[in-house]
Every structure is written in C-alpha cells, then in structure tokens.
Structure 1
Amino acid sequence: MTSVALRLAVAPPTESCDSGLAAPTWDFDALTTYGPGASVDDAVPAETTNATTRPGQLPQAYRDADEADLYRRIEVAKETLGDRVVVLGHYYQRDEIVAHADFVGDSFQLANAALTRPDAEAIVFCGVHFMAETADILAREDQQVILPNLAAGCSMADMADEDSVEEAWLDLAEAYGFDPEGSDDPADYPGGKLPVVPVTYMNSSAALKAFCGRHGGIVCTSSNARTVLEWAFERGERVLFFPDQHLGRNTAKAMGVPLEQMPMWNPRKPLGGNDEATLQAATVILWHGFCSVHRRFTTAQIDKARAEYPGVQVVVHPECPMPVVDAADAAGSTELIRQFVADAEPGSVIAIGTEVNMVNRLAAQHPDKTIFCLDPVICPCSTMYRIHPGYLAWVLEGLVAGETHNRIEVDDDVARHARTALERMLAAAPKPLTGSAQGAPAATAATGSAR
C-alpha cells in the first residue's frame, strides 16, 4: 500500500486536495489557518479551544531525520519504556504512526483502551486535542497524557466554543422560560422534563463536555448518537446538539424527527437566526458546525461510483451531509465502517465516505475486495495529519530521558463535570444509524493485520 504521505508528494495538483500537505508538517504548524488540506477554508477562532494555532516545537534533529531512522528510534524508545507507556493511534492517522500504535480505534475507544494499561505512566495520544483531553479526564491522577504535536486541533470542535454555547444557553433559557443555572433534575419541571437537554458530540472541548455535565446533558459518539438522543428525549422536551449539525440531523431524521423541527443555530446571529415560533416548534436545535473532511462527500460521487461499479455498496460516516447519508447503503461510525468492510463477501466492491487514510488501510487489509474512497482527491484530515513520526519520536525519547513534552491537563473542576457527561454516555449502548453493520465497543490492538 502506498502511504497517503507519499501519494501527496507525487500527485499532480489536480489530484491532491492541497499540494502544501506534501510539505514537512512543521512547515505549516504555525499557520494562522488549520493548514493546507481539507480544513484550509475554516476560519480559526480568536481563542481556539484546541490549541490549533500553537506552533510545534520540534527540534531540528527530528526534522532532519529520515523515515527509517525515525522508525528505528521510535521502536527503541518504546522497547526501553516498556509498560510505562501506551501509544494510541486514531483510525485517521497516517500509516507511519499507526505502525507504532498499541491500540487503533476511534477517539472514545482509544480513551477506554488506555484504561486497560494500568501500569502505563504515560499515554501518548496520536490524535487531536479534544481526544487527549478526554483521555486525561478518564486517566488516573498519576498518569500523564501527551499529544505529540500541540498544533493538532479540530476545526469542527472549534466551531462551538464555550462562550458561544453559554450565550446560546441564555437565549434558550429566555425563550423557553427556565433558569439557565437552575436544577438539572427533570422532576423539578412541568411534565417531568427539562426544557432543553444539551448534547455534545465527542468532537468538542472538555469545557463543553463539562457544560453538558452541569446542565443535565450528555456526550455522544457517532456510534451511540441514537441511543443518546433517546435518553435525552426521555428527560427533556428538546435537544441542543453541538457541534456537528450533520450527525445530529441524520440521527434525529432516522428516528422520525421532521426536518422542520430541526432548526439551525448560527451563533453569529440573534437567536441563532431563528424566530420565537421556530424555536417553540423545535425538537432538535442543531449547531452550525461540520467536519471539513466529511462535508466533501457528495451524491454525485455516489452516482459516479454506482455507474462505474454496478452492485457497489456505499457506506459513509454520519458526519456527511444528509443527502449523502440518504443515498448510501449504510452509514455509521468509523468502527461500523470497519466492520461493514470486514463482513462483506469476498469480491465485494465498496465505496467509502470517510477519511482517506482509513479507507486506504481498509483496502490493504482486505485485498479480496475492491475498496475505494468516494472522493477521488487525496484529502486527509489536515489536523490529524500533523502527528508526524518526528513528533512521536521526540515525545517518546523525551520520556526515556525523564522529560515530558506536550502534556495535556484538564482543570479539575472542568474534568469533574465533563466526567459526569462522559459517564452518562458510557451507559448508552451504541446502535447503528443505518445499515446492518454493528459497531464494536473496544479498540483494535495494533497487530500486523491492524496496520
């Protein structure tokens, strides 16, 4: 399998999302955007919650090292550290990072996987900032969580900042006539239901997870979003869902919520761009946020795949726009997509709508099937892509030398409330959005077949 990094380096500009991604990671870490690639058009907020605008601090020696040298140094450092360290690799990481991961999975699977290594003094999370925060919230006090590159943020997570959500909550409290700092017990309200239940996607800052914990809300993942919404509707009249509008819309629509009862909340407009009547009729209020990678997928791409490959099966992530999810054969979390491919018959042709590193890896793992990305342009998650082997070697060799680089620490009070929302999520057993594939609860240990 040719790595995405190599394909970017040799691909003509017309076949690559942005030729700048072929440059060394540290060349664009300090840019005031999310960097070249899928998120290049996303405006970085003045006070990002995900450390995106912090430049990397990678020493020159690691920048100059070649791929083979970095691979060897990472493996030597891991062997030296032994059980004192666990390396977690998200599905969307480049292959050069996944090769060293002890566990591979989605963000919450990996946070849970870390708990299975009680002897680990350090958790090196090869993902993005909100994932490392979640790992720190769930880790023991004596464990340290490390993000190899502090510039690895998340544009979607930054689309719902704490101040904007707090302001929206005040507006909703006035519209629905409740105390914004009042009780989070449904029994204290008419009809035994909260006026609004806040639900945040895992792709959000620790501060917003804490916001949900304080106000009777919950966290969801793409695998258990339906179960979480069912929990929220049992407790509340309506839901405020952030930051990803598409996951919220696709999940609620599959549950039978009419589109006219799902208004968008734009934090830059009064009342989120709504009038009082619209808010009174709302069942799910969707935050104006999205994933830049999954927003790229279109129904035209699905039509093209079906025309070129009769009988092709199309599976997409629920962060994709609603028309794409509706046109697909199945939709679900990264783990559901992985299982969908694994369960398909030999000879199957499968078109996938999710991040290209994961798609390429699935194609390599299943040579008896034809697997390709719906989007023909090479376009990895540009912030995930910032975790380069040089950064991993730097933080691991630092641990060997008794030094900790890029530790992620969540404030105790924030962590306490965020943990409440995460524990509620843990109790919500996953259900697939559509399709027949079932998600698995545990992360995959990184073996030869997982690379």
Structure 2
Amino acid sequence: MSSVNTAIQLITREEAENGRSAAGATCSPALAQGPWEYDLAEAAAGIPAYGPGASSSDAAPKATPRQGQLPEEYKLASDAELDARIRAAKATLGDRAVILGHFYQRDEVVQYADFVGDSFQLANAALTKPNAEAIIFCGVHFMAETADILSSSEQSVILPNLAAGCSMADMADEDSVEECWEQLEELFGSAPDSEGRAPVIPVTYMNSSAALKAFCGRNGGIVCTSSNAKTVLEWAFERGQRVLFFPDQHLGRNTAKALGVPLEQMPMWNPRKEFGGNDEQTLLDSRVILWHGFCSVHKRFNVAQIEKARADFPGVNVIVHPECPMEVVDAADGAGSTDFIKKAIAAATEPTTFAVGTEINMVNRLAAENPQHTIFCLDPVICPCSTMYRIHPGYLAWVLEELVEGRVANRITVDESVKDNAKIALERMLAAKPL
C-alpha cells in the first residue's frame, strides 16, 4: 500500500494532467508541495498559518513559531539522497540521538523513528534513553515541550520544523485561561465545600502548551491524555465540585458523558464572549466547563460517513477517536485513543472490516500492517494533520547533519519556572490510578 504522501502526489498529478483524478481526492493540492514552500509563502505574507490540510482554515496566533528557510540542498535532494543522508547521520550519531515519530507522521519520516507512539508514549520513551544527547521529536510543538519537561537538562529536544504547531493547542492560550479562571474564582469563591472539594479543578489535555500545564500545576489541576481522560476526570471530581476542561471540548464532553454527567451540566466557555457566553446560574449548576476548542482533523468526521460505511460494508466495525464530535462517538462501535484503536485492530482474530475515524497517516499505516483486515478512513478525502505534515525528511536530514557537525538546530526549551509547575501536573496524571 502506498503512503499518504505518494497518494497525494498521484492525485495532484492526475488532476493537473487530466483535470480530474480517478485515484481519490485531497482537501488541498498544496499538500503535494514541499513544506518549505509554505514557510516561504508565510514569510512573504508576514502572516503565520498552519499550512494545507485539516487546519488550513484555522487562524494561527501571531506568536506562532515560524521555520526559517531550509538550506537549498535539502529541498533539491531526491528521496533516495535524503534517505542515504539520514541513515548515514543516524549511524554516525549512534546512541547520541534518538528519533521519536508520532502515529500521525508521514511514513517517509516514521521509517527512521526509534520509537513510534502517541505524544505521551513518546515523551516517556525518550526517558529510556538517558544517555542520548539529542531527542529529535517528529511531532508538533507541544509534544517537544513535554519531552523537554521530562528529559534531563543535559539533553536537547529538537523539532525538525518549528512551524509544526497544533491549532487545537493554540485555541487555549495562557492569557485567556487566566482570565476565565479569574472570573470563575469571582463567581465560585475559593473555599472548599463540606467534603473538602475545591470549587473547580483545571484539567488540561496533553495537547496544550507547557504554560497551560504549568497553570494546572499551580492551581491544583492535572494533565490528561485521551487514554486516561476517564481516570483523570474521576481524580478531579474527588477533589473538586466541577472541572474546567481545556482545550478540546469533544474529549471533555465524550468522557464526562460516559461518566454520567448530563449535557446540561457541561456548558461551553467561549473566550471570545463575555463570561464565556454563559449566565451565572448555568455555571453554578455545572459539573464540567468545556473550553471552545477542537481538533480540526477529528472535526471532519460525521455521522453520514458512518452511515455510508455501514451501507457499503455490512458488519463493519467503526472505531473513532474521542476528539470526534459526540454524535460521531455515539454512532460508532467503539471510541478511544490512538493506542486503543491500534490495539482493537490487533485484537481482531478473524478478518474484519474496520472504518476508522482518526488521522489518515495512522489509518493508512494500520491498513498496511494488518493486511488480513479491510481498513479504511471514514473520511474519503485525504486531509492530513496540517502541522504534522510539515515534518518532512528534508528537515530531518538537516537537523541530524547539524548534530553531526556539533550544532543543535531548532532546539525547544521550556523555562525552568514553567517546567517545574508543568511537571507537577504531569506527575499528578501519572499518580492517578483507576478507581
């Protein structure tokens, strides 16, 4: 099975030659370009952007990191030349460098990873290599920050393309969350109830900045992943009367609903509206206050796609990520983290048809790794994560060869004061055990 990038190149070429494609559709022909073309366009426009793909219509904050121009030799290098240079640099560096590849990375990058997994799995994987001088994180910015928080001060964390951010993480910035917190404290007060529970506990998803993890650490809060969101919410309810959950509304809603929290007790906080768009009584009656954020990849999935999959493939097993909208999760046969999806498919002992609602690179890889099953993405349009897709073998070759020459390019560092509080919230997450 060809990679997602190969499929995009084929579709784009056929559309250019014939005016249409028989191989499928992409959400943007610009996906066929090298990511350095987006870097150049953004520099010329003076406006940051996430690039083509699922987040292309999301507004990037002014402070969004931008990638400087990749040296010309890496742009012009063939796939074979980049492969040879990456492998040679890896061999030279040996145990001095470890490469982490997220599930959503393109195959052309994942093939070089020493570890492949979700963001927290990869941050923990790096801890198994304490002697590595450099951790090259082929993922997005918040993931590299988490690796820097958990790694030693002697290790350098590198993000091959600084423009690989996350639109969901950017939907909850520190200033907006602090302003929300101040308003909630004014409404709820700070005194615990008769059971010793605080008025509100902040919970941030792993897909957030180090600053917001630190905010949770300072304010009695905690971090969660899509794998342990249920356990973390139970932890928070033991300690608080209600939860402020950010930045992903869908993970928060789906998890709280599964715990029996009524939808009417899960108001949305929109930072662009006065008092989050709520009245006081609604907030006083709340159990979970959901931030107005979402994943643009998982927002693309809908019930109509599930209905079509069931019509086309009777008996299909539909599995989706909990970042999908509630109605999609409700209509699916199962919902869980990337690791849950991977394990659910691996556990199927008989040939099965799976329709999967998560990022296309992971779905495509699952199909290639499990040829005994029929596996396809619910979304028929190829539309990868915009920011993950900005990591390209050219950037990986560049940062590796810089290391060979004794230079650290694109280092991600978290300020020590932020790091200390963020680590508190992460350690609370690790200590939270299922009830």
For residue 192 of structure 1, give the secondary structure of its aligned residue in structure 2: coil
Retained in 1: the 8 A contact 2:190–2:198? no
Alignment of 1:220-231 (within 5 A): 220-231=224-235
Secondary structure of residue in 1 paired with 2:67: coil
Matches within 5 A, 1:35-434: 35-48=51-64, 51=65, 54-178=66-190, 190-429=194-433
SS at match of 1:191: coil
3-state SS of paired residue (2:382): coil
> 1:2 maps to which residue?
2
Deviation at 1:232, TM superposition (A): 0.1
CA distance in 1, matches of 2:406, 2:194: 57
Q: Helix, strand or coil: the match of 1:195?
A: coil
Q: How far, CA to CA, are the matches of 1:400 and 1:82 in structure 2? A: 10
User: In the aligned structure 1, how far is the partner of 2:160 from the partner of 2:37?
Assistant: 16
Q: Give the distance between the partners of 2:125 and 2:162, measured in 1 at CA.
A: 22
Give the AA of the match of 1:264.
Answer: M
Provide the TM-score with structure 2 as the length reference: 0.94
Instruction: Check conservation: 1:114, 1:123, Cα contact below 8 A.
Output: yes
CA contact (8 A) 2:269 2:292 kept: yes
Cα distance in 2, alignment partners of residues 361 and 427 from structure 1: 32
CA distance in structure 2 between the aligned counterparts of 1:6 and 1:18, rounded to whole angstroms:
14
Distance 2:394 2:315 in 1: 43
Determine the structure 2 residue equivalent to 1:33.
49
TM-score by length of 1: 0.91
Q: One-letter code of the match for 1:328? A: A
Contact preservation (8 Å) 1:225, 1:430: no
Q: CA deviation at 1:118?
A: 1.6
Match of residue 15 from structure 1 = 25
2:45 aligns with none
**CA deviation map 1:202-225 (0-9, x unaligned):** 000000000000000000000000
Question: Take 1:34 and 1:430, find their aligned partners in 2: how far apart are those partners?
Answer: 37
Identity across matched positions, percent: 69
Secondary structure of residue in 2 paired with 1:352: strand
* Alpha-carbon distance, 1:313 to partner: 0.1
In the alignment, the residues of structure 1 paired with residue 393 and residue 403 of structure 2 have an alpha-carbon distance, to the nearest angstrom, of 15
- How many residues align? The count is 419
Distance 1:429 1:368 in 2: 36
Question: What is the alpha-carbon root mean square deviation over aligned residues?
Answer: 1.3
- Which 10-residue stretch deviates more, 2-11 or 401-410? 2-11
Q: Are the equivalent residues in 2 in contact too, given 1:56–1:151 (CA < 8 A)?
A: no
Q: In the alignment, residue 228 of structure 2 is paired with which amino acid?
A: N
Deviation at 1:320, TM superposition (A): 0.1
Alignment-mate amino acid for residue 33 of structure 2? A
Listed as ranges, the gaps of 5+ residues in structure 1 are 180-187, 432-451
Q: What is the letter of the counterpart of residue 202 of structure 1?
A: M
> In 2, are the aligned partners of 1:29 and 1:386 still within 8 Å (CA)?
no
Instruction: Tell me how far apart the structure 2 counterparts of residues 210 and 294 of structure 1 sit (CA, whole Å).
Output: 26
Residues 39-67 of structure 1 deviation map (CA, whole Å, 9 limit, x = unaligned): 1110112334xx2xx13331111111011
Q: Distance in 2 between matches of 1:112 and 1:22?
A: 33
Q: How many Å separate the matches in 1 of 2:173 and 2:277?
A: 18
* Structure 2 residue aligned with 1:441: none
Separation (CA, whole Å) in 1 of partners of 2:333 and 2:162: 37
In the aligned structure 2, how far is the partner of 1:428 from the partner of 1:300?
37
Cα distance, 1:189 vs structure 2:
5.4
